[in-house]
Structures are given as structure tokens and as C-alpha cells.
Structure 1
Amino acid sequence: MGFGELVRRHGVDTRPLGVLAYRRLWAGQGVSFIGFQLTSVAVSAQIYDITKSSFWVGMLGPANLIPLIVFGLWGGAIADAVDRRRLLLVGALIAWSATLALLLQAALGMTNIGLLMATVAVHATGFAITGPTRGAIIPRLIPVDLVPAANTLNYLVSGVGSALGPLIAGVVLAQGGFTFAYLIDAVLFGAGFYAAVRLPQLKPIGEITRPGLRSVVDGLRYVSGHPIVMMSFVVDIIAMAFALPRALFPEVVAERFGGSLIAFGWLSASMAIGSVLGGLMSGWVGRVQRQGVALTYVIAIWGLTVAAAGLVGQLWLMVALLAFGGAADLVSSVWRQTILQTHAPDDMRGRMQGVFMVVVAGGPRLGDLRAGGTAAWFGATGAWVGGGIACAVVVIAVGMSVPTFRKYRPAVRSL
């Protein structure tokens, strides 16, 4: 097999970038996501700096989770009933206002934890609206057979942002402090907003249901009536709630690496680095047919890799192991997103993406809460390693127990 054939078969599929509207959305998301991740790291570091407690860092979980559940489901229902471009702009402005509030608090030297948590909740509200809306937009911009490739590109550019954001945060926090970090995010926000402004009108098609409790319930009923979709959510919750160790990063850095902000930046970026590398070699992902089994085992690998990372003392090895786990997480994310976007009708996609947002963004917040809470009892290392092992055991037990999920093969293949 020649080098060109190797790249074609295993390299990332870039065909969706040929669609101008998608390319703008993709690029804008990539730039603005760097700032989003920088702020996420800065908030965690700021709260630990104020409280010296992993418990309070873990409390960022519910501060984010509650708005994500409420506004993720509601935002998804609205996305099925209004112009999705306009809704994307509204959600972006809400998130931006929260970033400006964090900037103002840092500039004034305010250390009120309650106010910080409330601001984070507002930021999560904007994210909960834009996330499902953006996911529902993609199948309207590109052909169905390119959706898996578009999802891979989305996760790839998000991975780049998730890698660069924390790495930049380590330097920025060490040199300029929290104020400068939030200022950078406020500036980078403009790229994503510009991309949303340049989108075409995306008015709803198909049956329009008035957004509200009934439409949310209809979406949840759709999920419960489709076991494949339901299980794709369940295994992701297991992965994040049991194994995600990020709330433990500040304490582990303090214990093992002398509180180095550079080490904190590398740990925060490690999974995203793996996601980027995995995305660059993702051409094979769309050719996997038994995706239910594959999802189960990939998530088990993620859990065991995280557990191994918690046992090592060298920063480079910890980063390498977490990066491998990040590559596994990217693969599972592409399969789960593609199932939703290609199986749900357009008039249900917003609600499906709302549920997806609650699970994908809410699961890590449960993981933060779990990690912070168990660390108070078992220490950071016990909470880290135990969670990874529990993830592997539980996901195999649950994933292999549902025949329809175990035997699932996709109806649409990427080329």
C-alpha cells in the first residue's frame, strides 16, 4: 500500500470543508473554542486558588450541569421550531456576557465563590443553547453521507481548541493572571459569532411543534423508544461520570508537581491532544460496522487508560496515557453523534441534540462532582484510579447486556 493510499484510507476526511457555510462554522468554532477552554481552565484554577479545595472545584459540576439540563433540552426544542441561525446568535451572546462578567470580577479582585458559580451557570446556559443548535444545523448544510466526516472534523477542531486552550492557559495564568485569560476568551469569541452571522437562514422544515414541556417530553419519548440511541447515551454517561479526572488536576499538580501551572496546563490539554491525533488518523472510523460493541470496548479502554495515568508519577507519561484515552473518546463521540444526526428526522434533530448536549456536557460535570466528592474520602489518587477501573467494569457489563445495542450496525456508512 502506497503512502497516498494509506492517507486516503486512514487520514481525516476533509470533503465537508468544501461547503462554504460549514467551513465558516467549523473555523469559527475552532477559534472561539480555544477561548472557551482557556476560560474553563482559568475558572478551575481560580476557584482552587481561592479555596484550596478539590471539593469546590468539583462543585463546578452542578453549577454547569443544572443549566445544561434545563436549557439544553429547552434549547433543543426551540431549535426545532425557529430559525436555527438566530437561535445560535442568541446563545452565543449569553455565553459572551458571562465571559465579560468573569473578566470584570477578576479585574476587580472579587473572590466571592457564590458569584463565580452563578456566572459559570450563565455561561453554561449559553453553551446549552448553542450546542444542540449547532449540531442540528450540520445535516442541513452538507449531504448525509458526509455527516460522519463532518462530525470528525468538528471533534478534531474542538480537540485542537481543547489542547491549545489549556496550554495557553498555563502560560497566560503564570504571566498575566486570571484577568488576561478571560480577556483573551472575550476577544476570540468574535470568530464564532462572525461564523454564525454569515450562516444562511435555517428555518424549520417538517412538522413544527411549539417549544415547551410537551415538545421536550416528545424528544425524551423518542429516545426511550429507540434502544440504540438510549444506550449510546448510557455508555457515555458511564465513561464521564466514573472516569473523568479533571477536577483532580489541581490537587494532583500540587501534590506531585509542586503546583506548577505549566504542568496543570499540560494535564488539562492531554486528552484533547490525543483527540487531535486520533482525529488526524480517523479515516477508518466510518468503516466500522459493529458500532455498539466497538463503543463499549473503546470506552472500557478509556477507563483503563485513565486508571493507569493516575498511578504514574512522571508528567510526560501521565500526559501520554491521558492522550491515548482522549483518542478513544473522540472515536466514541463520532459514532454517537452520527447515530443521532442520521437516524432522527429533521423536525426531531434539535431535541436529540439537546439530549446529546445534556449527556455530553452534563456527564463530565457529574464526573467532576464524583471526582471531587470521592477525593475527600479516598484522596486524589484513589478517586482517580478507582473511577477508571469502575468505568471499564460497568460499561462492559451494561453495554454487552443489551442485544440490540450489541448487534447494532449503522444504516449509513461514511465513504
Structure 2
Amino acid sequence: MSLARTLIDVRPLRTSPVFRRLLIGRTVSVLGSFMTMVTVMYQVWDLTHSAVWSGAVGLAQALPMVGVGLFAGSWVDRGDRRRIFLVATVGQAVCVLLLAVQGFTGGVPVAGILALVAAGSCFGAVGGPAAGVFVPRLLPKEQVAAGLALNQVTGQAMMLLGPALGGLFLGWFGIGVCYLLDALSFGLAFYGAFGLPALPPEGEPARAGLHGVLDGLRFLAGNRVVRGALITDLAATVLSMPVSLFPLINAERFDDDPRTLGLFLSAVAVGGVTATALSGSVTRLGRPGLVMLCGAATWGAALALFGLTTSPWVGLGLLVVAGAADALSVVSRTTIVQTRTPDALLGRVTAAEQIVGQAGPHLGNLRGGLVAGWSSGATALVTGGLLCVLAVAYVGASTPQLRDGAATADEA
């Protein structure tokens, strides 16, 4: 196999100037969002010195995403996705701009900061499903997986770079400047989408209100391939999410060394970036279901082994493997959702995928913490990883269409 086919497939960058602009705008905006995430956490902690208030930042981000998501998906499937995305982008930019104003002026209570974070998350819950239709509408079907991999690798790279830059800029320029830079980054996201053609739903538009939401849920219940993809993601995140266990494992196994703890998350991200950068052969394979199942099972197995090891270097290596497997699984799952869902339903299904991606890790961290409280961090990791492998094996065994990739967008 040639090196060119192993490296990430960049054909979408060459063949679609519109996708290229979108990717640049999205990358800069994601960088700004991670800078804001660090800035909000720092400001809330600086004002309160309370772990409860710090934890409330995550809830302010996640709850609106879950509460607004499905209704937003129904709205997206009734209108011009381009216009909806532009409105949502402006809304997010205004929320961050208000954060910047309070960062320069001060005097806003913590509840007000969290309210602005929650408002921005509401706009994000609308913009995400709208953006979910861009790649399959702009690229030929054989390039959709490559386009999603490019989104993934740039997003993960910004996940590594954004918090580090946020910390540096906080020290150099202060809170207000960090928020302001994020607000400006939405300008590039807006520019990237502004040149798109109108993107109304292909087929019958969604019914209004709850009826449209129920139509989307009926599709998910009836389409075994898309349903299996989302269940696989839930199995990986709810059953074996390791982040909340890292401090305890570090204390139990690695003498509570803060340097080791910092490397745990970095190792997962490094694995993800590396695997996505070398995903060309995987995205060209045309078997996203099989890749997703293997990736999710490898994620669970690597984390179970991580729970057993006493060597920090072996542990970091296993986390790199877990991060790589998870990245390939995510790219494959998103490919399944966006190529197997009819366009008229894609906003609602993308919203459901977004909710799973938001809620799953939070529930997984809660599960891990509860099990560790009853037993130990190692037990929580090992049992969670094994349960993940068993759940993925069940999904694969009960959904042959997911394994062999034979299903089409209309198959149940």
C-alpha cells in the first residue's frame, strides 16, 4: 500500500473550494471555542474557588445541547440549512462578544456568565445539525468519509492547541482578549458558509413541532444501521469513558504525579490526531460500519488493559491506541449517519448524534466515578472496557447490515 493512500485523503480540498473555505472557517472557530472553554473555567474558578461552580460550566454547555437539539433538528429539516447555520453562528458570536465585554468590565455574577455560556450552547445546538448536511451535499459520496476525516483531524489538532493557547493568552492579555479572539473567529466560520448555495431539504420538509421530532425518532428506531451506529457510540462513551477516573488511577498506580496526569489526556488526543492523519486507507475502504465496530471494541479493550497496567509508559501507549481507535470510530460513525440518512431527515438525525456525543461522555464519567467509589479506579476501567467490548460485539452480531456495509440510506 502506497504512502499516499495511507495518509489522510485530501481530495475534498482539491476538488471543492467551498469545502475548503468551510474547513478553514470551522478550524479557526473550533480553536477559538477551546480557548473560550479554558477561559470560562479559569474565570469561574477565579471568582468562586468552588468545584461545584466549575462543574456547572459543563452542565451549562451540555443541557441546552440536549434540550434544544431534537427540536432544532426538526427546524433545520424544514428550512434553508445555510441560512440557519449563519443565524446560529451570529448568535454564538454575540454570546461570546458579551462574555468579552464582561471580561473587560467585570462585575457580572457567575450565574450571568453561565447564562451566556448556555445561550451560546443553544445556538450551537442549532448550528450543529445545520452544518451536518454540508459535507454530504457538497462532496461526491465517495469523498464524504474523507471530508469528515479532515473535519476530525483539524478539530482534534485544535483540541490540543486551543487550551494551550488559551492559557498563554490568559497570562499575557487577560480574560477579555481571549473571549474577543473567539468572537472574531466566528467571522471566518460565517465567511466559510456565506458562499454556500441555498440548502433546503431534499424531499418532504419536516412537520412542525413535536410531530417532526417524532418522525426523526421513528426513523432512528426503524433504521438498524444508523441506530446501531449511535448505540455503538453510547456503548463506548457510557460504559468506558475514562476521563473522570484519570486522577484516581494516577493516585492508585502512579504516585499521584501531576505530570503523568497531564499526559493521560494528551496521549488520547495524540492517538486521535495520528490515526486520523493516517486514515486514507480506512476512508477509502468503503466499510465504515466494520471500521466503527472494530474501533469501538479496540477502545474498550485498550482502556481495560490500561486499568491493569502498572507501567506509566505502557499505560500511555494504551491510551494512544485507545485515542486512535476512537478517532477512527467517530469518523466512521459520522460517515454512516451522513450517508445512510435521507437528506430530509439529516438535521434531526445529526441532532440526535450531537446529543449522544454530548450526553454519553458525561454519563460515562458519572458511571466511572460511581463504580470507582464502590470499588476502585482500576475496577471501574476494566469492567467498563469489557462491557464496552461485549456491547459492541452484540451490536455487530445483531446488525449484519452494519458489518457488511450493504445497507442503503432507505434500508431498515
Regarding TM over 0.5, the answer is yes
Q: Is 1:358 paired with 2:355?
A: yes
- Residue 79 of structure 1 corresponds to 76
CA distances 1:308-341 after superposition (whole Å, capped 9, x unpaired): 6678899988766544332222100111111111
* Contact 2:282–2:291 (Cα < 8 Å) also in 1: no
CA distance in 1, matches of 2:169, 2:306: 26
* Contact 2:149–2:331 (Cα < 8 Å) also in 1: yes
CA distances 1:178-204 after superposition (whole Å, capped 9, x unpaired): 333322212222211111212222123
Write the mapping of 1:250-261 to structure 2, written as runs, cut at 5 A.
256=256
Structure 1 position 280, deviation (Å): 1.2
Assess, with a 3 A threshold, how the Cα gap between structure 1 residues 59 and 303 changes in structure 2: closer, same or farther. Answer: farther
CA distance in 2, matches of 1:251, 1:119: 32
CA distance in 1, matches of 2:229, 2:380: 20
What is the TM-score with the length of structure 1 in the denominator?
A: 0.83
Write the mapping of 1:264-279 to structure 2, written as runs, cut at 5 A.
270-279=267-276
CA distance in 1, matches of 2:313, 2:172: 23
Unpaired runs of 5+ residues, structure 2, are none
Does 393-402 or 188-197 show the bigger shift?
393-402
Q: Is 1:90 paired with 2:73?
A: no
Does 284-293 or 174-183 show the bigger shift?
284-293
Assess, with a 3 A threshold, how the Cα gap between structure 1 residues 204 and 171 changes in structure 2: closer, same or farther. Answer: same
Name the aligned partner's letter for residue 275 of structure 2: G
Match of 1:8 among 4, 7, 10: 4
* Contact 1:38–1:168 (Cα < 8 Å) also in 2: yes
- Residue 199 of structure 1 corresponds to 196
Match of 2:181 among 176, 179, 184: 184
CA distance in 2, matches of 1:112, 1:285: 49
Match of 2:329 among 304, 329, 332: 332
Name the aligned partner's letter for residue 226 of structure 1: N
CA distance in 2, matches of 1:180, 1:79: 33
Match of 2:382 among 389, 396, 401: 389
Match of 2:212 among 194, 211, 215: 215
Name the aligned partner's letter for residue 4 of structure 2: R
Assess, with a 3 A threshold, how the Cα gap between structure 1 residues 290 and 11 changes in structure 2: closer, same or farther. Answer: closer
Greater RCO structure (CA 8 Å; 6+ sep): 1
Unpaired runs of 5+ residues, structure 1, are none
Structure 1 position 87, deviation (Å): 0.4
CA distance in 2, matches of 1:315, 1:187: 41
Q: Is 1:163 paired with 2:132?
A: no
Q: Is 1:405 paired with 2:403?
A: no
Assess, with a 3 A threshold, how the Cα gap between structure 1 residues 127 and 321 changes in structure 2: closer, same or farther. Answer: farther
Alignment coverage as a number of residue pairs: 402
Name the aligned partner's letter for residue 84 of structure 2: L
Assess, with a 3 A threshold, how the Cα gap between structure 1 residues 406 and 364 changes in structure 2: closer, same or farther. Answer: same
CA distance in 1, matches of 2:65, 2:341: 21
- Residue 142 of structure 1 corresponds to 139
Q: Identity of counterpart residues, as a percentage?
A: 34
Structure 1 position 105, deviation (Å): 3.5
Assess, with a 3 A threshold, how the Cα gap between structure 1 residues 41 and 370 changes in structure 2: closer, same or farther. Answer: farther
Secondary structure, in 3 states, of the residue corresponding to 1:199? coil
Does 201-210 or 45-54 show the bigger shift?
45-54
* Contact 2:304–2:384 (Cα < 8 Å) also in 1: no
* Contact 2:81–2:130 (Cα < 8 Å) also in 1: yes
Assess, with a 3 A threshold, how the Cα gap between structure 1 residues 208 and 106 changes in structure 2: closer, same or farther. Answer: same
Name the aligned partner's letter for residue 398 of structure 2: T
Secondary structure, in 3 states, of the residue corresponding to 2:399? helix
Structure 1 position 150, deviation (Å): 1.1
What is the TM-score with the length of structure 2 in the denominator?
A: 0.84
CA distance in 1, matches of 2:11, 2:130: 22
Secondary structure, in 3 states, of the residue corresponding to 2:394? coil
CA distance in 1, matches of 2:232, 2:84: 30
- Residue 21 of structure 1 corresponds to 18
- Residue 342 of structure 1 corresponds to 339
Assess, with a 3 A threshold, how the Cα gap between structure 1 residues 65 and 374 changes in structure 2: closer, same or farther. Answer: farther
* Contact 1:242–1:387 (Cα < 8 Å) also in 2: no
Q: Is 1:122 paired with 2:119?
A: yes
CA distance in 2, matches of 1:399, 1:73: 25
CA distance in 2, matches of 1:334, 1:298: 10
Q: Is 1:36 paired with 2:33?
A: yes
